[in-house]
Amino acid sequence: MPVKVGIAGLGGLGSNVAVMLVRSGFTDLVLADFDTVAESNLNRQAYFRKHIGMKKTDACAEILKMIDPDAEPETRDVRLNEENISGVFGGCSIVCEALDGAEAKAMLVNTLLSEMPGTYVVSGSGISGWDLPEGIKTRHVFKRLFVCGDGISDTGDMHAPRVTVCAGHQANLILRLIYGMEDEKIE
């Protein structure tokens, strides 16, 4: 079965993960977000000034098609909750958790791991501030859960460098899963 990857949240983590996956030649994506692009997003998210006011799902899909015109990402303009998550990401064998709030992250991860047996989750947690990025790591914490980030720095004060480092960790791990480079650990 071909691999499909879901991206939950198209902010600093999700929009940059999507761009890196498409640049790497992987385009079978489901993009989920309810929000629109704001000027304050431009310090770290993949969008351009012309996207302000546009749905993040549409703006992100447009950017991906600028990189690869053959990319046909599926878009879901929806606020994720316990009831709709398994439907939104149905058929995805990997989901990138890239939401903003800690409670929302926990809700998404719990719902995916409980309701979608076989789906791997690659979460981002701890990306704020200006600390040296060595603390941002990829950790294999549960059988089907990887967490990237420093695990400590909380919301607010987010900037492109560390956010992009963490997005790179997530995109790299997703590609390792797609191409079987994590098989020894997850079997």
Partner 1 sequence: MRANGKEIMVREGTTLHEFLVSAGYDTSRVAVELNGSVSPKKTYKEVMLKDTDHIEIVSFVGGG
Euclidean distance between CA atoms 161 and 5, whole angstroms? 24
Residues 111-170 that bind partner 1 (CB under 8 A): 113-114, 123-128, 141-143, 145, 147, 149, 151-156, 158, 163
Fill in the per-residue mask, 41 to 60: x = in contact with partner 1 (CB under 8 A), - = not in contact. Answer: --------------------
Q: Candidates 22-30, 58-66, 87-95, 104-112 — which segment interacts with partner 1 by CB under 8 A?
A: 104-112
Closest CB to partner 1 among 26 and 119? 119
* Residue 109 binding partner 1, by CB under 8 A: yes
Give min distance, CB of 70 to partner 1, in A. Answer: 28
Euclidean distance between CA atoms 140 and 32, whole angstroms? 24
Closest CB to partner 1 among 57 and 125? 125
Options 5, 6, 11, 51; binder of partner 1; rule CB under 8 A = 11
* Residue 6 binding partner 1, by CB under 8 A: no
Closest CB to partner 1 among 65 and 75? 75
Long-range CB pairs of 180-186 (<8 Å, 24+ gap) are 182/140, 185/140, 186/120, 186/143, 186/144
Give min distance, CB of 69 to partner 1, in A. Answer: 28
* Residue 185 binding partner 1, by CB under 8 A: no
The residue count for binding partner 1 (CB under 8 A) is: 37
Euclidean distance between CA atoms 108 and 123, whole angstroms? 10
Task: Match 């997003």 to its residue by tokens.
Answer: 41
* Residue 12 binding partner 1, by CB under 8 A: yes
Euclidean distance between CA atoms 76 and 15, whole angstroms? 14
The sign one gets for the Cα dihedral 92, 69, 37, 151 is: positive
SS3 per residue for 109-174: HHHHHHHCCCCEEEEECCCCCCCCHHHCEEEEEECCEEEEECCCCCCCCCCHHHHHHHHHHHHHHH
Residues that bind partner 1 (CB under 8 A): 9, 11-14, 98-103, 105-106, 109-110, 113-114, 123-128, 141-143, 145, 147, 149, 151-156, 158, 163
